[in-house]
Chain A
Amino acid sequence: MTEDAILQGCLKNHAAAQKELYNRYSPKMLAVCYRFAHNREDAEDMLQEGFIKVFLQMHTFQNKGAFEGWIRRIIVHTCINHLKKNKRFNESVDIIQANSLQIREENIPSIVQAKQIVDCIRLLPLGYRTVLNLYAIEGYAHKEISEMLDIEESTSRSQYTRARQMLEEILIKRNLMPASKEKTDRLTAIH
């Protein structure tokens, strides 16, 4: 079934088209939710809420951009709202002065599996994780993030800096990323 046919069917509230759309995009979208969520159950709740919104707002989709991107934006916003509603997002918000931080250029080796990366992201505190997800993976600007999360833009930047730093440390610790000498020294000193 083509994307147009799915869209037309969903606009007519046809269950077959809705199921087709769901089957096509739910695995990716659940992975998105999972990166934001506390656990799988929460992620499924987010996904469910998000897809209901997708179907109900289908008429607002104008063929100007990618369908998947449109769905993804709705899902991400649903995740954020879910976190806000459950007050989990505020658990670990702190402000880090990011300007002085310098981060290595090391790349993530291609052999590293997607699941390992996601698992590492999920080890971050919720506040860091949310900002990192929104900025690094979903591509939102800090200004947008600050509006979505009701925080200062500078807070978003600092959260992200700290999140990235922590993520790198986790990746290095799990041998998913080569450690620089400077970083290794620092980690040795910490541990």
Chain B
Amino acid sequence: MKERNIYDGEFEKQLKEKSDQFKMYPSDRVWNEVYSSLHTRRRKFVIGMSFLIGGILFLAGSQLISPTRNTLSKATVSKITTPAKPAEAVDLHNFSTGSFAVSQADKTADRQTTAGILNSNNALVNTFGISPDIQPGTTVTAESIAVKTQTNARIKPIQPVEKNIPGKSDEPLAMAHLNEELSAAANPLINEVSSELVSEKSANQQSHIHNDRFSWELYIAPTLNTHYLYGLNYQSMSQAIPSAPIMVVHVANVNGFVDNTPVMGYDVGGNILYRISKNLSLKAGLEFSFSRYYIKAYNSSPGQATAVLSSYLGYFTDSLLNINSSGAVNKNPQHYQNRYYQLSVPVGVELKVAGRDKLQFHIGATLQPSYLLNTDAYVLTDDYNNYTKDPRAFRRWNLIAGAEAYISYGIGKIRWELGPQVRYQIFSTYKNSYFLQENMLNYGIRIGISKSIR
């Protein structure tokens, strides 16, 4: 047996041949991990959108459902204002914060009997008839309070004179007025009352501002529905689809083989808007969309359709009623409608670009996870000769990008909205396994109303 140098290569060759024959089959975990890594963007998007929508709905729900502070005050009033002993005296010196809760509640309940609706302090003063000349140590009976409340004749309500002062809001001035009165009286108790009520008023103001952040809108938009078809690499299709005509494979723009006409559809929906700054709002809602287009084709007899999911996964054949797009069978073309019904959840932002109270100009953009409700539309067979119906070809979940611009005009508490909108379907109407892609593009005029939620 002769020896040879290690780099001769025969040993390596045999080693390689033997090693290459060896195969192992990985566990399912590997593919699952690979798949989730490759499609992580889609997953992140779904999770992100879920959190966003959930957050907005939670916020909206909690704001709309939770009771306001005023309601609570009224509830307190009904419980406390009934005097147990009409003649029981109350020493103003001994007024505690709890006692003033009663007073504050009373002013809410007795607003009709007083003119001091400008702010809670006025109401308090008027309700109790506390005038600046009340001195520390003065004893006020519940009875006298009741009398003063009912008659209210001697007490001159604080008039909203501040309204005459331009450029200032009513409430701060009314507060100033009250403070003046209280200061004049030099009554530390009243000052205490004042500060209590100022904080209460401030909380009420904040509550109002908070509530003003929400608004709702309803809209309808007649739309014109266009769509775009895209094919695969036609050179490779020639191998995958042996039956495809040569001209399809080599010339190959699918839009040249079909005759589709845009038709009117409509979108209708509603949103809840949450104002995060003076001009910027977040919005989320629900929209129903009906879109359609005409297919110009020719009737033909039922036959075998080499249907849709063929380019990747091998042929499916179905005995379905076909509509021929080439005109070879019947020379009178017919119009068939492809209808799509979709539900979507628009989530997005809206920006007030210009305008004041009455007239405003807004722009907005949304992303809309959508769900296709029907799958009975026609699809093109892989030889481009026929249309057939195959629900397997349709993608149920999709994503739509929307943009709009509109003018809004306020009449009373309602704002009317009018402007153009456009919606583009990001993913194909069809599943990836179908050899064509279809992306819908809808233009429309949006007509809507909106109103603040208080």
- B-contacting residues of A (Cβ < 8 Å)? 1-2, 4-5, 7-9, 12-20, 22, 26-28, 30-31, 34-35, 40, 43-44, 47-48, 51-52, 55-56, 98, 101-108, 112, 114-115, 117-118, 121, 135-137, 139, 160-161, 164, 180-181
Given contacts A28-B20, A103-B11, 20 further A-B contacts (CB under 8 A): A4-B233, A5-B311, A14-B312, A17-B312, A18-B38, A19-B35, A27-B24, A27-B26, A34-B24, A102-B4, A103-B4, A105-B2, A107-B10, A107-B11, A114-B21, A115-B22, A117-B18, A117-B19, A118-B19, A137-B12
Assess A114 versus B38: contact at CB under 8 Å? Given A2-B236, A47-B26. no
Closest to B19 in A: A137
B312–A20 CB distance below 8 A? yes
User: Does B5 count as interface, using CB distance less than 8 angstroms?
Assistant: yes
Of B3, B19, B31, B433, which contacts A104 at CB under 8 A? B3
- A-contacting residues of B (Cβ < 8 Å)? 1-6, 8, 10-12, 14-16, 18-27, 29-31, 33-35, 37-39, 232-233, 235-236, 239-240, 311-314, 432-433
Within 8 Å CB of A27, what residues of B?
23-26
Within 8 Å CB of A181, what residues of B?
1
Within 8 Å CB of A112, what residues of B?
18
Within 8 Å CB of A18, what residues of B?
34-35, 38
Of B6, B19, B432, which contacts A103 at CB under 8 A? B6
A136–B12 CB distance below 8 A? yes
Within 8 Å CB of A114, what residues of B?
18-22
Nearest 10 A/B pairs, CB to CB:
A114-B21, A114-B22, A27-B23, A136-B12, A4-B236, A30-B24, A117-B18, A14-B432, A31-B22, A102-B3
Assess A136 versus B11: contact at CB under 8 Å? Given A15-B39, A114-B21, A180-B1. yes
Docked CA distance A129–B6 (Å): 16
Closest to A35 in B: B19
Within 8 Å CB of B23, what residues of A?
27-28, 30-31
B34–A102 CB distance below 8 A? no
